């Protein structure tokens, strides 16, 4: 999406010359200055920040053989550069967001993005795996701050009735990173080496950070937040935690099978190994469609969007049992699965932002990102255990059971007062 189109969206939703002013925004603190058309540039910068940080996170997965050979370690040892990312993020996000809660949020995002870039440069220059691992841990901590604050910060830029669409714009960044950034980074690594590839990725963090640092009307840090360590006492925290835990179960179900998609395709669907890239392409394209649907769905059905998506997601995972019936059925099921995983994260993050009171909205963003990463790690670990003992059938049963449990929590929860 171009800056022009983002500006056009901002004009639709924000008071600017030639635009109709929207209704007062309950999500934006009353003390915040009225937004202008520059919000379009900020949304563009946040999208670029998401693209850069996720490219930094994921591209090493395609560079592990090169890294291992250069650092004279095994590929599995080099894999620790990827494995520690989610663990570090889950462990540090809430603490770091709380520690910086009094600082202007766009400054925190910008500085964290630059630190992520600096850590990537340090990784590129690392003489040993231990040094590279330490740099990746620092980068993951900074990345966690960026991701925890992205959606809450967007909530202060647009009216609540347009939050879902704005979130979808920003989350187009990681989608582009997965579809374009990671394959491009892998190809560049083969041509120029993994170190120069990481240098290029680090450079991508600079332009969006400069846009955020140069903004003249910064959103203030959250006022009236509970004392450090007491955020859960805020009445809306219970709904945030409930929603986050339930969605973590959904993602655990997804990653229990997604981590072993090659086995799912070859043994479950009975397709050849050459079909795996095609399956991934179908899933990725469907995920883009899901992301496009997430914004309008979240804005038009703010309360029902997440429970409905969760129920559909659980059914979609259960439908993976049909992969072996016919190739056409297999690709259709994969397409539905891909659409739903494109839909779930933005719908979830939008819902959590709406549930959280302004005083804990940033912390709620950190809770959401922590839940996502716990779900990813738990799903991959459980999937590996079950696959070894019960095969593909057991894997699908596990995935469907985890997702059904999460969906049941979301459906059975009392309707909160948030829109």
Q: What is the CATH number of the domain that holds 295?
A: 1.20.1250.20
DSSP state of 370: H
Residues 266 and 144 both lie in one domain:
no
Cα separation, 177 vs 182, in Å, equals: 6
Helix (H, G, I), strand (E, B) or coil at 272: coil
Cα separation, 89 vs 86, in Å, equals: 5
Q: Decide: 365 and 244 in contact? Cβ < 8 Å.
A: no
pLDDT for 229 equals 52
Tens of pLDDT, residues 337-396: 999 999 999 999 999 999 999 888 989 999 999 998 899 888 888 988 898 899 999 999
Within-domain flag for 22: no
Instruction: Provide the token pair at 371.
Output: 């839940």
Within-domain flag for 220: no
Cα separation, 237 vs 241, in Å, equals: 6
* Alpha-carbon distances, residue 319 vs 303, 316, 367, 397 (angstroms): 26, 5, 30, 10
Q: How many domains does the chain have?
A: 2
Residues 237 and 274 both lie in one domain:
yes
Residues 179 and 267 both lie in one domain:
no
Residues 151 and 247 both lie in one domain:
no
pLDDT for 221 equals 45
User: Of the candidates 161, 178, 213, which is a domain's last residue?
Assistant: 213
For 208, the domain range is 3-16+32-213
Cα separation, 237 vs 187, in Å, equals: 44
Tally DSSP H helices, then E strands, for the chain. 17, 0
Within-domain flag for 74: yes
Q: Decide: 42 and 157 in contact? Cβ < 8 Å.
A: yes
pLDDT for 418 equals 54
Q: Decide: 375 and 251 in contact? Cβ < 8 Å.
A: yes
DSSP annotation string for 90-122: HHHHHHHHHHTTTS-HHHHHHHHHHHHHHHHHH
Within-domain flag for 222: no
Instruction: Provide the token pair at 272.
Output: 């050849």
Cα separation, 416 vs 297, in Å, equals: 18
User: Of the candidates 152, 180, 213, which is a domain's last residue?
Assistant: 213
DSSP state of 417: S
Residues 235 and 182 both lie in one domain:
no
What stretches in the chain show pLDDT beneath 70?
Answer: 1-37, 216-229, 414-419
Residues 205 and 347 both lie in one domain:
no
Cα separation, 348 vs 307, in Å, equals: 9
Residues 73 and 188 both lie in one domain:
yes
DSSP state of 232: G
Rg from Cα positions in the chain: 21
Tens of pLDDT, residues 8-33: 444 444 444 444 433 333 344 433 43
Residues 256 and 198 both lie in one domain:
no
Residues 247 and 132 both lie in one domain:
no
User: Of the candidates 181, 213, 245, which is a domain's last residue?
Assistant: 213
- The owner of tokens 């969605």 is 247
Within-domain flag for 196: yes
Alpha helix ranges (H) inside 259-326 = 261-263, 275-300, 305-318
Residues 209 and 313 both lie in one domain:
no
Instruction: Provide the token pair at 220.
Output: 């203030």
Residues 207 and 281 both lie in one domain:
no
């Amino acid at each position: 999406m171009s800056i022009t189109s983002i500006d056009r969206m901002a004009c639709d939703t924000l008071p600017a010359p030639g635009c109709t002013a929207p209704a007062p925004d309950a999500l934006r603190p009353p003390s915040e200055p009225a937004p202008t058309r520059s919000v379009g540039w900020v949304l563009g910068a946040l999208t670029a920040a998401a693209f850069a940080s996720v490219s930094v996170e994921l591209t090493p997965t395609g560079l592990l053989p090169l890294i291992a050979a250069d650092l004279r370690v095994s590929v599995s040892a080099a894999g620790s550069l990827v494995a520690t990312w989610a663990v570090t993020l889950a462990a540090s996000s809430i603490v770091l967001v709380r520690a910086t809660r009094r600082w202007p949020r766009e400054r925190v995002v910008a500085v964290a993005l630059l630190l992520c870039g600096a850590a990537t440069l340090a990784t590129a220059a690392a003489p040993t795996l231990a040094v590279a691992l330490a740099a990746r841990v620092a980068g993951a901590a900074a990345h966690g701050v960026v991701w925890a604050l992205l959606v809450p910060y967007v909530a202060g830029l647009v009216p609540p009735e347009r939050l879902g669409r704005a979130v979808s714009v920003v989350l187009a960044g990681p989608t582009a990173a997965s579809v374009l950034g990671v394959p491009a980074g892998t190809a560049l690594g083969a041509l120029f080496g993994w170190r120069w590839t990481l240098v290029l990725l680090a450079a991508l963090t600079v332009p969006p950070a400069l846009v955020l640092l140069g903004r003249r009307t910064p959103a203030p840090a959250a006022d009236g937040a509970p004392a450090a360590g007491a955020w859960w006492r805020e009445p809306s925290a219970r709904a945030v935690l409930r929603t986050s835990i339930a969605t973590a179960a959904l993602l655990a179900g997804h990653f229990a099978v997604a981590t072993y998609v090659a086995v799912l395709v070859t043994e479950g669907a009975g397709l050849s190994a050459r079909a795996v890239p095609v399956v991934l392409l179908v899933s990725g394209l469907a995920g883009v469609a899901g992301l496009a649907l997430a914004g309008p769905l979240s804005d038009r059905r703010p309360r029902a969007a997440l429970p409905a998506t969760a129920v559909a997601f659980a059914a979609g995972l259960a439908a993976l049992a049909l992969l072996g019936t016919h190739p056409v059925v297999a690709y259709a099921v994969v397409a539905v699965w891909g659409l739903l995983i494109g839909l779930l994260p933005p719908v979830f993050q939008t819902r959590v932002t709406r549930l959280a009171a302004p005083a804990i909205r940033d912390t709620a963003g950190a809770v959401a990102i922590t839940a996502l990463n716990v779900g990813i790690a738990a799903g991959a670990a459980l999937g590996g255990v079950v696959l070894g003992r019960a095969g593909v059938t057991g894997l699908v049963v596990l995935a469907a059971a985890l997702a059904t449990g999460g969906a049941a929590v979301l459906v059975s929860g009392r309707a909160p007062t948030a829109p």
